[in-house]
Amino acid sequence: MRFVGRYTVYLGIVLVVVGLIGGFLALFRDADSLAVNILVLVPVGFVALLTGTVISQLMTPTDKQ
């Protein structure tokens, strides 16, 4: 389950970066409707990033003494 959290964090980072870069490039090219659709990836990526962080923190192995 730890790997699911890790890969979800990576997926969130990729979604945020793609959403920001692609959205602003579309805005600069005057493709407003496309830019809005691509910029939607940013909050989705943030949710994935937060979910992956929570999963990876909750599923860390505990030290047994």
pLDDT at 62 over 90: no
Task: Please check the confidence at residue 64 and state whether its pLDDT lies above 90.
Answer: no
41 vs 18: CA distance, rounded Å: 8
Cβ atoms 48, 6 nearer than 8 A:
no
Nearest partner of 2 among 61, 56, 48, judged by Cα: 56
Mean pLDDT along residues 6-21: 96
Token pair for residue 64?
A: 């047994």
Q: Confidence class of residue 18 from pLDDT cuts 50, 70 and 90?
A: very high
pLDDT higher than 80, residue 34:
yes
Model pLDDT, residue 61: 76
Query: How many angstroms separate the first and last alpha carbons of the chain?
Result: 23
For 63, which DSSP code?
P
Is residue 30 pLDDT above 80, yes or no?
Answer: yes
